[in-house]
C-alpha cells in the first residue's frame, strides 16, 4: 500500500478524543510512508488527520468539490488538492488514488463512503483492504447491526470478516497489510460459482 483514503467527520463539535485519534492516525500514516487521500477539509477530524500527516512530514492529497473549496472549509496547505465537479466524481477520484480505505468516526458522509467502498468490494469492483478505527467504541453499534444483517442473510460472513476493525492505528494498518480478498464469497454473491 502506498496511499490510504481516510473517511471521517468534518464537525468541530466532537470529543477531543476523536480529534486526537485522527491526528495520531495521520502521524502513523506519515511515519509509514503512506500518502493520505481524503476529502480536503480543514475542520473536524478531516483537518486533524491532515495536520497529523503534514506535521510528521508526510503527503496529504485532498479531493474536494467547488462548493466546498472555500477558505472556511478547504485546507490550503496540502501537498495537492484535486477539485472535481461533484460528489460522485469526488468518491471516484478518492477510490482511484487509494490502495486501502479507513473510516474514522464520522456522520452521513463517512457512512456513505464506507458503505459504498464495502459494496464495491462485495461485488468485486476492488480488492483493497477496508478498515475501521474504532475510537471510544464509536463503531460498536454499527458492528452489532452488521452482525444482525449477517444473521438475517443479507451479508455474507466472509464479507464482514474482511472488514478490519481496531482501536489502534498501528495495529489497524498491520491488519490491513495482511488483507486477503474473499474471492470465493464475491463469486458466490455474484452467483458465479
Digits of tens for pLDDT over the chain (193 positions)? 999 999 999 999 999 999 999 999 999 999 999 999 999 999 999 999 999 999 999 999 999 999 999 999 999 999 999 999 999 999 999 999 999 999 999 999 999 999 999 999 999 999 999 999 999 999 999 999 999 999 999 999 999 999 999 999 999 999 999 999 888 988 888 887 5
Provide the 10 A C-beta neighbour count for residue 16: 8
Q: Check if the beta carbon of residue 62 is closer than 8 Å to that of residue 40.
A: yes
Could you tell me the three cell numbers for 130?
A: 477496508
128 phi and psi angles, rounded to 5 deg: -100, 150
| Complete domains list, the chain, with CATH | 3-137+163-180 (3.40.50.450)
CA dihedral 160, 2, 31, 55 (to 10 degrees): -100
Region for residue 158 given its phi and psi (left: phi exceeds 0; alpha: psi -120 to 50; beta: otherwise): alpha
Region for residue 179 given its phi and psi (left: phi exceeds 0; alpha: psi -120 to 50; beta: otherwise): beta
Q: What is the pTM of this model?
A: 0.96
Could you tell me the three cell numbers for 149?
A: 444483517
Amino acid at each position: 500500500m502506498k496511499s490510504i483514503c481516510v473517511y471521517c467527520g468534518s464537525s468541530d463539535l466532537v470529543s477531543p478524543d476523536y480529534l486526537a485519534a485522527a491526528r495520531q492516525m495521520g502521524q502513523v500514516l506519515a511515519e509509514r510512508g503512506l500518502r493520505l487521500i481524503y476529502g480536503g477539509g480543514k475542520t473536524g477530524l478531516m483537518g486533524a488527520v491532515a495536520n497529523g500527516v503534514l506535521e510528521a512530514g508526510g503527503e496529504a492529497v485532498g479531493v474536494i468539490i467547488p462548493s466546498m473549496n472555500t477558505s472556511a472549509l478547504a485546507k490550503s496547505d496540502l501537498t495537492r488538492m484535486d477539485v472535481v465537479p461533484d460528489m460522485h466524481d469526488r468518491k471516484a477520484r478518492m477510490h482511484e488514488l487509494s490502495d486501502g480505505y479507513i473510516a474514522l468516526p464520522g456522520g452521513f458522509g463517512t457512512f456513505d463512503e464506507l458503505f459504498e467502498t464495502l459494496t464495491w468490494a462485495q461485488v468485486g469492483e476492488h480488492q483493497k483492504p477496508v478498515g475501521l478505527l474504532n475510537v471510544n467504541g464509536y463503531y460498536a453499534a454499527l458492528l452489532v447491526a452488521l452482525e444482525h444483517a449477517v444473521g438475517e442473510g443479507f451479508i455474507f460472513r466472509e464479507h464482514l470478516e474482511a472488514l478490519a476493525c481496531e482501536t489502534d492505528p498501528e495495529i489497524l494498518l498491520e491488519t490491513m497489510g495482511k488483507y486477503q480478498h474473499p474471492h470465493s464469497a464475491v463469486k458466490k454473491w455474484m452467483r458465479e460459482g
